[in-house]
């Protein structure tokens, strides 16, 4: 019996429903698994091994104990990067925190007269009202700023003892800062004097309780020293004593003591640091004076240096050589710092029956290192400054030491002129000295200038007059003469001849452009000329072959001579005395009928220009020109004037006209005579 049609339809619907149910279940499992795996991977990647992930449909549940609240939040954030945050369920717990460490209790107390500030953290058990009452005993309550916070933790050990000590210190010091911690106190304060500073330190040290570490830093303002004083003495036995000393800083004190010890001071030195220094260069002035007194002692003398503010006096205790005394005092006077006044004196000689004092002197010395020392007397400040500037102009600003004194008494008329003339005379020496007295000028030394003695004598006669009394004892030392080792002019030209024997100056065909192959010989010639005497009169002559028109060849030879002159100038050869001249096809040294002959005729010749009537050793090297050379003597060398020109490529007249040329060199006078050409 056949089933009704509706039965088959019902079975189909049931089967479809079963298939959908199975498919839906499988999809749920797939979604749950993928979500759980993705979130688990994200958590493990961030090191959250403590978290476990469960999937319940579309929801992702995170369980586990987070080490802290921050880790829990990081886990939620990591899960939200993989699935929708609304699907994440937080089932995590947070591990209870361990015991929280007690905070560090401290108080910063600041006092400026009546104003008091309290900043810090104190235990809750501390009686804040008692603190305010205690402060009100030395400061009005309305001037107390209370910025203290409290924390409910046990009172640390030695806290109360430290706080009690701190308030006592705060009450003692009107201007102070007191820092309090458990068992430690730091006190910084300002006293009004060194005596009060010592009193504060003694009292606070006596108050320190057991178990409390105290750091004291009480400062006192430097005393005002009036007047600022220094007195340094060296007796006739060479014993140095610092009788009084003031300084404006630790650095100044150390500098003064170091200079005094170098002058012979021994033992402990008391030098007060205080306010009231008249100048920031007090220490430099003190060092100058102490060093000068030490020099006097080195010469067998003794004396005292006294400084009262800006007044400085150096008194020699006994007579000494006047020139030595003037030299020592002159150095101080020429190095005197601004604002200071300096006086120096020396007792007169004991023997009053002795002859008149020695005449005034001015002495200038030049050593082999180029250092110049000026000592002696000048008539006024203007001459003193002029002498120094004149010496610096001749010998260099860093090479001049001024040790002169401005003492116009006893100086003759014309003293200023004699001083400046002596400095000028010294400038002609390599080393030596000039002694100037009212009667004479003595110049002694060594020089590398052959005519120095004549030059100095003529100069002194010109400046001082024919009746001037002077002695010039100058020795010429050839080793000091920068021109003594230079070769003779003819020898220089002969060296160029030797160089050109193996290489010639070549040019690009039909032009005045020096070929690259000829640059080496140009360099060699420049090296020779730089070692020759200055102002060497040399003719640079250019020659061509007979190809092309005469005027074109003449212009090309001139351009080539100018090009060589310019090349030497670029190599820093002094060419002001050189003459560049083009002679075209004149004076051939070979036949122009052959390529070899034309090659020989294309050349540059260097010749020494010799005045008429003079004969040089180079004449023996000259070669006669067939159609008659001038009989005047020169030393010459021929070099190549152009690259190889093949016979079939020889430039025509038109080609020669179109040849490029360099700009002509500076105009110089042409040689009056044409030199014979050397091979």
The predicted-structure confidence for 113-146, as pLDDT tens digits, reads as follows 888 999 999 998 888 878 878 887 787 877 788 8
Q: Per-residue pLDDT for 623 more than 70? A: no
Task: Give 498 or 564, the one with higher predicted confidence.
Answer: 564
Q: Per-residue pLDDT for 662 more than 60? A: no
Identify the pLDDT of residue 194: 79
Q: What are phi and psi of 73, to 5 degrees?
A: -65, -40
Identify the pLDDT of residue 24: 59
Residues 6+ apart with CB under 8 A from 260: 232, 240, 242, 269, 290
Span 341-348, average pLDDT: 89
Q: Per-residue pLDDT for 22 more than 80? A: no
d(CA 649, CA 409): 91
Task: Give 421 or 635, the one with higher predicted confidence.
Answer: 421
Identify the pLDDT of residue 477: 87
Contact (CB, 8 A) for 238 and 297: yes
Domains of the chain in sequence order:
26-94 (3.30.1340.30), 106-219 (3.40.1520.20), 229-345 (3.40.1520), 362-480 (3.40.1520.20), 489-657 (3.30.1330.60)
Judge residue 223's burial from the number of C-beta atoms within 10 Å of its C-beta, 0-12 exposed, 13-18 middle, 19 or more buried. middle
Least confident of 117-121, 305-309, 516-520, 616-620: 616-620
Which of 36-40, 371-375, 567-571, 661-665 tops mean pLDDT?
371-375
Identify the pLDDT of residue 619: 47
Contact (CB, 8 A) for 423 and 402: no
Q: Per-residue pLDDT for 661 more than 70? A: no
d(CA 329, CA 341): 13
Q: Per-residue pLDDT for 284 more than 60? A: yes
Q: Per-residue pLDDT for 428 more than 50? A: yes
- Closest to 559 in 3D by CA, of 606, 514, 493: 514
Q: What is the pLDDT of residues 156-190, one digit of tens each?
A: 999 999 999 999 999 999 999 999 999 999 999 99
Span 472-477, average pLDDT: 88
Q: What DSSP character marks residue 514?
A: B
Q: Using DSSP, state whether 636 is helix, strand or coil.
A: strand
Identify the pLDDT of residue 261: 93
Q: Per-residue pLDDT for 629 more than 70? A: no
Contact (CB, 8 A) for 145 and 117: yes
Span 299-308, average pLDDT: 90
Identify the pLDDT of residue 23: 61
Identify the pLDDT of residue 641: 37
| pLDDT tier at 442, thresholds 50, 70, 90 | very high
Least confident of 144-148, 331-335, 497-501: 497-501
Span 79-96, average pLDDT: 87
Q: Which helix (H) or strand (E) holds 475?
A: strand 470-476
Identify the pLDDT of residue 1: 52
Contact (CB, 8 A) for 550 and 584: yes
Identify the pLDDT of residue 618: 41
- Closest to 505 in 3D by CA, of 523, 489, 487: 523
Q: Per-residue pLDDT for 467 more than 60? A: yes
Judge residue 629's burial from the number of C-beta atoms within 10 Å of its C-beta, 0-12 exposed, 13-18 middle, 19 or more buried. middle
Identify the pLDDT of residue 206: 92
d(CA 191, CA 174): 9
Question: In this structure, what token pair is assigned to residue 350?
Answer: 């004991």
Q: Computed from CA positions of residues 221, 225, 228, 229, in that sequence, does the dihedral angle turn out positive or negative?
A: negative
* pTM (whole model) above 0.75: no
| pLDDT tier at 633, thresholds 50, 70, 90 | very low
Task: Give 544 or 647, the one with higher predicted confidence.
Answer: 544
Identify the pLDDT of residue 27: 61
Residues 6+ apart with CB under 8 A from 657: 548, 549, 552
Task: Give 658 or 247, the one with higher predicted confidence.
Answer: 247
Identify the pLDDT of residue 626: 38
d(CA 175, CA 139): 12
Residue positions counted in the chain: 679
Q: Per-residue pLDDT for 630 more than 70? A: no
Q: Per-residue pLDDT for 268 more than 80? A: yes
CA–CA distance from 644 to each of 136, 489, 502, 555 (Å)?
114, 32, 16, 20
- Closest to 424 in 3D by CA, of 449, 470, 393: 393
- β partners of residue 344: 314
Q: Per-residue pLDDT for 151 more than 60? A: yes
Q: What is the mean pLDDT of the chain?
A: 82
Cβ neighbours, 10 Å, residue 122: 21
- Closest to 39 in 3D by CA, of 82, 10, 3: 82
- β partners of residue 94: 66
Contact (CB, 8 A) for 172 and 204: yes
d(CA 139, CA 267): 49
With tokens 């800062």, the residue in question is 177
| pLDDT tier at 382, thresholds 50, 70, 90 | very high
Identify the pLDDT of residue 620: 39
**Ramachandran assignment for 486, one of left (phi > 0), alpha (psi -120 to 50 degrees), beta (any other):** beta
Contact (CB, 8 A) for 606 and 539: yes
Contact (CB, 8 A) for 468 and 460: yes
């Amino acid at each position: 019996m056949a089933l009704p049609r509706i039965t088959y339809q019902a079975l189909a619907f049931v089967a479809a429903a079963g298939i959908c149910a199975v498919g839906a279940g499988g999809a749920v499992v797939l979604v749950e698994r993928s979500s759980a795996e993705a979130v688990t991977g994200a958590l493990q990647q961030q090191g959250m091994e403590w978290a476990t992930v469960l999937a319940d449909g579309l929801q992702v549940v995170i369980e586990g104990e987070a080490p802290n609240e921050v880790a829990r939040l990081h886990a939620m954030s990591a899960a939200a990067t993989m699935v929708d945050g609304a699907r994440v369920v937080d089932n995590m717990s947070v591990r209870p925190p361990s015991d929280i460490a007690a905070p560090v209790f401290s108080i910063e107390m600041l006092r400026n007269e009546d104003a008091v500030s309290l900043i810090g953290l104190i235990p809750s058990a501390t009686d804040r009202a008692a603190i305010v009452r205690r402060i009100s005993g030395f400061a009005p309550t309305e001037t107390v700023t209370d910025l203290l916070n409290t924390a409910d933790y046990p009172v640390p050990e030695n806290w109360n003892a430290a706080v009690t000590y701190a308030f006592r210190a705060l009450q003692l010091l009107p201007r102070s800062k007191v820092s309090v911690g458990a068992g430690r106190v730091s006190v910084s304060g300002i006293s009004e004097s060194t005596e009060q500073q010592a009193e504060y330190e003694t009292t606070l040290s006596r108050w320190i309780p057991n178990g409390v570490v105290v750091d004291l830093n009480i400062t006192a303002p430097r005393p005002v020293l009036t007047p600022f004083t220094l007195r340094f003495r060296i007796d006739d036995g060479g014993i140095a004593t610092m009788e009084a000393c003031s300084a404006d800083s630790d650095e100044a004190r150390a500098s003064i003591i170091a200079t005094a010890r170098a002058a012979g001071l021994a033992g402990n030195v008391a030098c007060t640091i205080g306010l009231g220094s008249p100048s920031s260069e007090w220490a430099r002035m003190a060092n100058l004076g102490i060093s000068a007194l030490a020099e006097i002692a080195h010469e067998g003398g003794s004396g005292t240096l006294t400084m009262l503010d800006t007044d400085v006096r150096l008194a020699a205790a006994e007579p000494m050589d006047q020139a030595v005394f003037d030299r020592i005092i002159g150095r101080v006077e020429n190095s005197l710092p601004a604002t200071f006044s300096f006086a120096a004196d020396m007792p007169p000689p004991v023997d009053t029956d002795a002859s008149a004092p020695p005449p005034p002197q001015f002495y200038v010395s030049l050593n082999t290192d180029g250092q110049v020392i000026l000592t002696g007397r000048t008539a006024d400040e203007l001459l003193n400054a002029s002498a120094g500037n004149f010496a610096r102009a001749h010998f260099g600003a860093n090479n001049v030491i001024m040790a002169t004194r401005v003492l116009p008494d006893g100086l003759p008329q014309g003293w200023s002129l004699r001083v400046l003339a002596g400095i000028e005379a010294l400038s002609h020496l390599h080393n030596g000295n000039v002694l100037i007295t009212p009667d004479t000028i003595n110049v002694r030394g060594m020089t590398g200038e052959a005519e120095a003695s004549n030059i100095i004598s003529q100069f002194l006669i010109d400046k001082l007059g024919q009746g001037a009394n002077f002695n010039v004892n100058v020795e010429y030392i050839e080793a000091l003469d920068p021109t003594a080792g230079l070769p003779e002019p003819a020898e220089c030209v002969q060296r160029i001849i030797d160089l050109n024997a193996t290489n010639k100056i070549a040019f690009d065909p039909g032009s005045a452009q020096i070929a690259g192959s000829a640059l080496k010989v140009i360099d060699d010639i420049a090296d020779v000329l730089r070692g020759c005497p200055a102002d060497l009169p040399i003719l640079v002559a250019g020659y061509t072959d007979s190809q092309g028109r005469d005027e074109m060849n003449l212009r090309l030879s001139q351009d080539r001579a100018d090009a060589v002159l310019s090349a030497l100038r670029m190599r820093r050869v002094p060419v002001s005395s050189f003459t560049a001249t083009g002679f075209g096809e004149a004076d051939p040294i070979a036949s122009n009928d052959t390529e070899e002959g034309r090659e020989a005729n294309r050349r540059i010749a260097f010749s020494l220009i010799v005045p008429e009537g003079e004969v040089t050793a180079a004449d023996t090297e000259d070669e006669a020109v067939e159609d008659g050379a001038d009989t005047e003597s020169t030393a010459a060398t021929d070099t190549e004037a152009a690259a190889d020109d093949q016979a079939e490529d020889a430039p025509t007249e038109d080609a020669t006209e179109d040849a490029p040329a360099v700009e002509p060199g500076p105009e110089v006078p042409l040689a009056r005579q044409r030199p014979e050409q050397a091979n």
